Amino acid sequence: MKELDKPDIYVDSKSRTTRIEEKSNVPKAITKISSLFARKGWDAGLQYHVPPMDKQHYYFALIPPRPSFPQDMTSEERALMDKHSVYFRQHFNLGKLLLYGPVMAPDGAFGLGILEFADEAEARRFGENDPSVRGGLNRFEVYPMQVAAACAKS
């Protein structure tokens, strides 16, 4: 095999296939290799090695103390919710919280999040460490889930 610029991208000149080891390099590599193959008149039949998934997904519900909570929270409750927002944003930025936000259900609003952690114990620790839970304001529920498909907003 002939090694390209990155040690995780290889071209097999006999079968004219490409193996990409790290997903972080895939978009750049696809463009680079596809254009190389096109210039040579080769078929860019790319093959991917996807490592096994070591993370699990969890549905997270943050349950407020009352259905009218978003409309009538006190200043003390607002302060805890501000800390909650910072906590969620930090975990979102770390890639542990894939999406989150309030759900305005007819029976009362609640918070929703989709988590990505190694196991359920870690997902539960995330909920237990939420400042609004630690402060006794909210409670939470966590359930394992399977993500069948996802699409990020652009």
Residue 78 C-alpha from the chain's centroid: 27
Q: CA 117, CA 95: separation in Å to the nearest integer? A: 9
56-145 CATH choice from 3.40.50.1820, 3.30.70.1060, 3.30.450.20, 1.20.120.550: 3.30.70.1060
Band the pLDDT of 111: cuts 50, 70, 90. very high
- β-pairing, 9-12 vs 2-3, is antiparallel
Q: How far apart are the first and last CA of the chain?
A: 37
At 43, which amino acid appears?
Answer: D
**Is the model's pLDDT at 39 over the cut of 80?**
no
Average of per-residue pLDDT values in the chain: 78
The domains of the chain are located at 2-48, 56-145
**Is the model's pLDDT at 22 over the cut of 70?**
no
Nearest to 142 by CA among 48, 84, 60: 60
Q: Render pLDDT for 116-139 as a digit per residue (tens, 0 to 9).
A: 999 999 999 999 999 999 999 999
Nearest to 10 by CA among 38, 132, 22, 70: 22
**Is the model's pLDDT at 105 over the cut of 80?**
yes
